[in-house]
Amino acid sequence: VERRENVVWASVAGYTAVAGANWWFARRQIRAIGGLGESFLRDLRIRLFAHLQRLGLGYHDRHPSGVIVSRLTSDVDSMQELVQMGLQLLVANVLLVGLALMLLAITSPLLALSCFAFAPVLVWSSRRFKRQSNDAYLAVRDRIGLMLARLSESLNGVRVIQAYAREPVEIERFARTNRSLYEAHMQAVRAQSWYLPTVEGCGVATTALAVGFGGWLVLHDRTTVGVVAFFVLTLNQLFEPIQQLSQLFNVVQSAGAALHKLYGLLDTEPEVTEAADAVELPATGDLTLTGVGFAYGPDAPAVLADVSLTVHRGERLALVGPTGAGKSTVAKLAARLYD
């Protein structure tokens, strides 16, 4: 009896030690992966903001401020879940799947082959889901930017809206933009609604096939009931991480669409750049424009045509004219905010 008590207490102590080690390693893992992910997001925000500061006014004229804000807020936040918990789940579940497959192959190679019966269905559904969800999440990212742009414009112009009683019109415009965002989200939801149940159904079907095929092997004395029971229990442990990986795949698709938008912003080159052999401007002097013409785009009408102007040192000059005559454009060109 005393020996059995020693075995029990040794088992309790061993279990407690393993549980404590698991708690310590899990804590260290979460802190390490979380710190790495947050450092990446912090550096990404700084890089995006610095790049926006270098882009010329032409870029900011063509892109509403709400769309730009969505790049630094919504798109970066969509990657938050992936870098915080996604990497941890990916590593843990891949290791679990690999270990489970190895155990199944060692226990019964014939039964292990049944695990791959529905692999073509999983591969086909995953590829189809990737294509559909990628389109859906790209649309979501675009429409979040449009909604933030609409919100920003409405709030900045709220005085004019209320002065001219345009509230119903603006509400209707915002409702249409919000509806388009809802439809984009629903497109992503429809893709999830068939993909996640398909993965779960493959797990159930594989278990049923293993039970049926295992029973046939038992009847023909090719294996034992204990092996089949162990196989079925291990299959349950196998498909749980596979289902988590399928849900993680959905998070990856959302983050990938956001990252695509962010890389598109980072790949945009500034329109106004410094020449390699640029000459330093003198501290003082005259400002001269000779035969200047300018349009805000290749297909846009010319704002300025053959404009010549000289402002002498110390001279003050007022540009007067109707709206759209090009007064602000002349000032922007003189400061080289446009090239």
pTM, to two decimals: 0.66
Q: Would you say 150 and 76 are in contact if contact means Cβ atoms under 8 Å apart?
A: no
pLDDT in tens, the chain (339 residues): 556 667 777 878 888 888 888 888 878 877 777 777 788 888 888 998 999 888 888 788 778 887 888 888 888 887 777 777 677 777 777 777 787 778 778 877 877 777 778 888 888 888 888 888 888 888 888 888 888 888 888 888 888 888 888 889 989 988 998 999 899 888 888 888 888 888 888 888 888 888 888 888 888 887 788 888 887 777 777 777 777 777 777 777 888 888 888 888 888 888 777 778 888 878 888 888 899 999 887 788 888 888 888 989 888 888 888 888 888 888 888 888 887
Q: Is 275 helix (H, G, I), strand (E, B) or coil?
A: coil
Q: How far apart are CA 129 and CA 132, in angstroms?
A: 5
| C-alpha torsion angle, residues 57, 58, 62, 63 (rounded to 10) | -40
Enclosing H/E stretch for 294: strand 287-295
Q: Which one, of 202, 206, 183, 190, lies nearest residue 250 by Cα? A: 190
CB 59 within 8 A of CB 265: no
